Copies of this chain bind each other. A is one copy, B any other.
Amino acid sequence: MELLNEMQLDFLSKSENEAFSRIVIAAFASQLDPTLDELADIKTAVSEAVTNSIIHGYEDKPGIIRIQAKLYDGRIEIVVQDWGKGIEDIEKARQPLWTSKPEQDRSGMGFTIMENFMDELEVESSPGSGTLVRMTKNIKDSKYSR
C-alpha cells in the first residue's frame, strides 16, 4: 500500500504536552479528510497512549515520548513509544478495568478505549526498556488532499 505521508514527533513527558500531541495527530490525520467522529476517535486513542507513557512509563519523571504517524489511502497508522518502565504482563494490562495504579483513580480502560476506537492495536513492551503501542484506523471515504 502506497505511503502518502509520514511524520515523527518527540516531546517531553509533561502533562501539558498531552493536549499538544492530540492536536498534532489531529492536524496530521486531517490530511486524510476524516469525519469529526473519526478524528475524535484518533485523538482519544492517542491521548490514552500518551497519558500511559507519562503516568505509567515514566511515572511523572522526565522522559521522551515519540509519536510516529503514517498515512495510507484510507488508513492511518500511529505509533506511540516511550523508553520508560515497560509492562510485565501485556495480556493482563490490556484487560478492561485492570490497572496497576488503583490508588490513583486510574480506570484501567485505556487499552480498551484504544482497541475500540481504532481498528487495530498492538503492544510491544518489556520491563526496563519501554513500551511501543501501534494503532491503525481506517478512514472511510478518505481523500488525501491539500
Write the residues of chain A forming the contact surface with B, with a CB cutoff of 8 angstroms: 5-12, 14-17, 19-20, 23-24, 27-28, 31, 145-146
Query: Main SS of chain A's interface residues?
Result: mixed
User: Known: A20-B28, A20-B31, A24-B27. Contact between A9 and B12, CB under 8 A?
Assistant: no
Contacts of A15 in B (CB 8 A): 146
Distance between A114 CB and nearest chain B CB, rounded to angstroms: 22
Contacts of A28 in B (CB 8 A): 20
**Alpha-carbon separation in the docked complex, A23 to B29 (Å):** 13
19 A-B pairs, CB-CB below 8 angstroms? A5-B14, A5-B16, A5-B17, A6-B11, A7-B9, A7-B12, A7-B17, A7-B20, A8-B9, A9-B9, A9-B10, A9-B24, A16-B31, A16-B146, A19-B27, A19-B146, A20-B27, A23-B23, A23-B24
